[in-house]
Structure 1
């Protein structure tokens, strides 16, 4: 009797091959053939699951975002922040600092995808690119809760501050990728700024 094929498992195997390839040689150099080689399958099989490179890239970015969401949740649980807005905000922002191979790969691939999407209409405007808006809304809710609880500056504009925090964390993450500063230095800068947002 022929072995049953787990199509979702195969899709994930191919997607993970793309992510490994992109993390080592850059998203711009990824092709259907290079993904097939990395996955140890035929190009025809890659094309069976993904008609175009753009479909494969979008699937990879969606998986990458889900994995990063899981990392954030683990970090929040590990810090014991519970429902404390400052702890949650700090945990979320610290994931923007590449501290290990997985987070480095996430930031490298995400940054390259974002740049590619500016000039490639097939990549721009996709649901994955709504993730920053969702993160902004999440931070607004946490900052608003902190202001109401009296743990954040009462003059705080939650929406404006969420935009600033995301910009600062993204910039710091990029500076670590570029070797401008260490992950520890970037973490210290984030905590310094959060100390001003949450003076208590």
Structure 2
């Protein structure tokens, strides 16, 4: 393997350890064992646990973006703002192994960063800020098109939608509700936000693929 492949191999090993045992169980030694590599080799690529965790978050975010792009490509054209946002937030829920790993690592990282100065020093909020900005832009587009009330504060509503999605994602992770139940809550909110026709069953079938 070249250097890029080895880095990716180490990061994927961390995600497997974190998904199976929790982020608190992640050490460079545990990751090395999972990756089938020496500790010295892991430390060559990532000198600290904080560096490795941050790299893992970046990779998980890239993978999530790729899944989101594929989901968007599967939506019927033209894509309505309602369908776009529903697909956007659906991808953010932990409904399969890959998205569950993303949520588990991200949430655990956030909790650990509250008490770990090394983790807190990393630019942790960049991903959520970027998502909030994207949602705000889409909601403002909906206001220009007349499908969203112009009196709505688009930035506040974007923050509301992401907070709702994150809360529902956590409730799925801890077994409070099923993914289907979470989607019902999410769709009910979107139907109040966009009182026009909801996405068709064909559109939602595309989101599920």
TM-score tier by shorter-chain length is: over 0.9
How far apart, CA to CA, are the structure 1 residues paired with 2:76 and 2:39?
46
Question: Does residue 45 of structure 1 match 2:18?
Answer: no
How far apart, CA to CA, are the structure 1 residues paired with 2:91 and 2:53?
22
Are the structure 2 counterparts of residues 135 and 81 from structure 1 closer, same or farther at C-alpha, using a change threshold of 3 Å? farther
Instruction: Show structure 1 runs of 5+ residues with no match.
Output: none
| Bigger shift: residues 96-105 or 172-181 | 96-105
* CA-to-aligned-CA distance 1:148-185 (integer Å, 9 cap, x gap): 10112232210111111011100000001111110000
What is the CA-CA distance between 1:81 and the residue it aligns to? 5.8
Aligned counterpart in structure 2 of residue 92 of structure 1, from 88, 109, 114: 88
| Bigger shift: residues 174-183 or 74-83 | 74-83
Structure scoring higher RCO (CA < 8 A, sep ≥ 6) equals 2
Name the Cα RMSD after superposition. 1.3
Q: Secondary structure at the match of 2:95?
A: coil
What is the TM-score of this pair, normalised by structure 2? 0.89
How far apart, CA to CA, are the structure 2 residues paired with 1:45 and 1:91?
40
Question: Does residue 105 of structure 1 match 2:101?
Answer: yes
| Bigger shift: residues 123-132 or 168-177 | 123-132
Could you list the structure 1 runs, at least 4 aligned residues long, displaced by more than 4 angstroms after superposition.
none
Question: Does residue 195 of structure 1 match 2:191?
Answer: yes
Question: Does residue 19 of structure 1 match 2:33?
Answer: no
Instruction: Show structure 2 runs of 5+ residues with no match.
Output: 197-209
Q: How many residues end up aligned between the 2 structures?
A: 196
What is the CA-CA distance between 1:47 and the residue it aligns to? 0.7
What is the TM-score of this pair, normalised by structure 1? 0.93
* CA-to-aligned-CA distance 1:74-103 (integer Å, 9 cap, x gap): 111122365532222111111222111111
